[in-house]
Amino acid sequence: MTETQPQDNQGNDSTAAPDRLLKICHDIAALSEGVNIIAVSKTFSVDAIAPVLAAGHRIFGENRVQEAAEKWPDLKETYPDTELHLIGALQSNKAAQAVALFDVIHSLDRIKLARALADEMKRQDRHLKILVQINTGKEGQKSGISPEETVEFVRTCRDELGLNIAGLMCLPPQQDVAGPHFALLQKLSQQCDAPLLSMGMSGDYEEAIKFGATHIRLGTAIFGPRTQKL
Ligand SMILES: *Cc1c(COP(=O)(O)O)cnc(C)c1O
């Protein structure tokens, strides 16, 4: 995010997102240095995303491969230094499309997907940073590697598959206080020597930064409420 002001200043939606992002940048700079804001643009149109790119922001997140494939190839051509992060569940049969389109994947949650990603990255000679999603709340319906299996899973991905496991990601259970989950993720990341920590969303990013978040994932705080529930 640069200090560049958006071109039109009518107070309409297209200027609101860059302004909100700029304010968040200033606020979090007081908490910590070097926190990356992933602008989560899922459900938002290219028209809503463009002003944020024009204002200088370059890190974006999407949670669905198909939706990202419809929106991002043209935007990336215009802004080639954009870093696109996949933050949602990935099916193995979409690994090829994901490797071609994204720069970082936050949602590696099983060995079958790890193998599919490793094969695709070799085939395409594109070597993405990968974060492992950890099910810190051990929720039955939520994907992610259990805390107990994290060190072993990361080791297998690195040693046997050659994946660049750069960090860990979590989505704390909605009803829980988030702090203990962030603390657990921080501890696991140290044990794995995987320093990127993707944690904290619009409602709890300041707490996540206290526990060392390197990447916070902000949707509504930047783009406003989503009309489509995902
Ligand atoms: C949608 C989403 C976010 C952003 O959520 P907000 O509450 O709108 O900031 C962050 N992480 C993941 C995995 C998401 O799916």
Output the residue whose Cα is nearest ligand 1's atom 10. Answer: 217
What's the pLDDT at 227?
86
Residue 9 lies in a domain: no
Confirm whether 55 is domain-assigned: yes
pLDDT (average), residues 26-38: 93
Ligand 1 atom 7 nearest Cα: 202
Residue 172 to residue 137: CA distance in whole angstroms: 6
Regarding pTM above 0.75, the answer is yes
- 117 touches ligand 1 (CB under 6 Å): no
Cβ(58)–Cβ(82) below 8 Å: yes
Q: Which strand (E) or helix (H) includes residue 170? A: strand 165-170
- Is the beta carbon of 167 within 6 A of some atom in ligand 1? no
> Residues 147-158: what's their mean pLDDT?
98
In the reported structure, the alpha carbon of residue 42 is separated from the centroid of ligand 1 by a whole-number distance in angstroms of 8
> What's the one-letter identity of residue 56?
G
Ligand 1 contact, 24 CB (< 6 A): no
Residue 220 in contact with ligand 1 by CB distance below 6 A: yes
pLDDT at 2 exceeding the cut of 70: no
The C-alpha angle 104, 71, 24, rounded to 5 degrees, equals: 60
Is residue 1 included in any domain, yes or no?
no
Band (182; pLDDT cuts 50, 70, 90): very high
* Position 8 confidence tier, pLDDT thresholds 50, 70, 90: very low
Of 104, 191, 195, the closest CA to residue 152 belongs to 191
Domain of residue 164, residue span? 24-221
Overall number of domains in the chain:
1
pLDDT of residue 15: 66
| 188 found inside a domain | yes
Give the pLDDT confidence score for residue 49 in this predicted structure. 97
CATH of the domain at 126: 3.20.20.10
pLDDT exceeds 50 at position 100:
yes
**Within-domain flag for 90:** yes
Across 206-214, average pLDDT: 98
